[in-house]
Structure 1
Amino acid sequence: MMPSKDGGFIATIQQGFQGIFGHLATSKEEVLKKRGPMSAVEYEAVPGDDLDQRVQFFARQIPEHLGEWLKIYRKARGEYEVSGEVVRMAWQSTVGPPTPEMPEGKILREVFVFAESETNSDVPAEPLHLYLRHSANVAYDLHFGSAMMKVPEQNRLSFAEEIGTLLKDSDADSKYKV
């Protein structure tokens, strides 16, 4: 097996997946796992995993300047680490709107992302293509930062000590009262 310039491998069937890792890999999945997190623009799916094929498809749809900052790592079937956040992905079916050809609607299959939240177990699922785009934007912003992100934390304004009237406890005139 020889590494190629695009990060993939060239191998013969007789040799299997052997090469830069110093042992005989049993599958391409093992080779990809050894590579670790990959940027979205170069993400390579595990053969035979239709969900992972969708991840590759949508990851490569992200503009290159954003996608290079988004790191994706397939931990196991349906379990991924996207820019350090562990998420689950699964196919879900929905019924599309009715059409003259299909008056009862067409069944649509789409991959949804479920984030594991420590504070809230009811975090809603998000379609894969939107999740990857949002994650890429966040990764890009975290790397390059906005003007506010460039101000050191100790120099930022904070109003944590401020005591005020909660909206639920207020009336229309409470904002004028001191």
Structure 2
Amino acid sequence: MSRIGKMIIEVPSNVEVKIDNNEVQVKGPKGELSYTYSPSLTVEMNDNIISVTRHDENKTTRALHGTTRALINNMVIGVTEGFKKELDLIGVGYRAQLQGSTLVLNVGYSHPVEFSIPEGLLIEVPSNTKVIVSGYDKHKVGEFSAKVRAVRPPEPYKGKGIRYTDEYVIRKEGKTGK
């Protein structure tokens, strides 16, 4: 039995959950999300507690059991609290700024790199070397943060680049190190 899959999901009082035709819809104060799960699973809600069970022991069904439970739990957390990722720009002259609904990064290229901000995400730039991505959909927050980081990932010699705030970059010695 999946350790994650057999855990229950407690639904707060300010969240509304609908389950019908293999689809879970979660609506809360921050937004609304939906997920279509596999027909080989059963999702039930009793007394503000959601449980996920599986019908058989196929390999794919076992794999989907924990995944489905985790995705539904992330939906409930997202519409109540939301998710946040923080990025740091480390390097001489590296900076970020918001221009309307566009995030503009100057990270050592001959041109600035621009990102249009997807719907449902909130981008903050408290200082010119820090970017905060927040939203209620964990997938969108992580995907946008990864795209921004991929523009200039941290390099191991000087540590320059875009990294997550809690990320540790392993540093290497240069040619002179023995």
* Highest RCO, 1 vs 2 (Cα 8 Å, sep ≥ 6): 2
Query: How does the TM-score come out when normalised to structure 2?
Result: 0.30
Query: How does the TM-score come out when normalised to structure 1?
Result: 0.30
Larger helix percent: 1
For the pair shown, the structure with the greater C-alpha radius of gyration is: 1
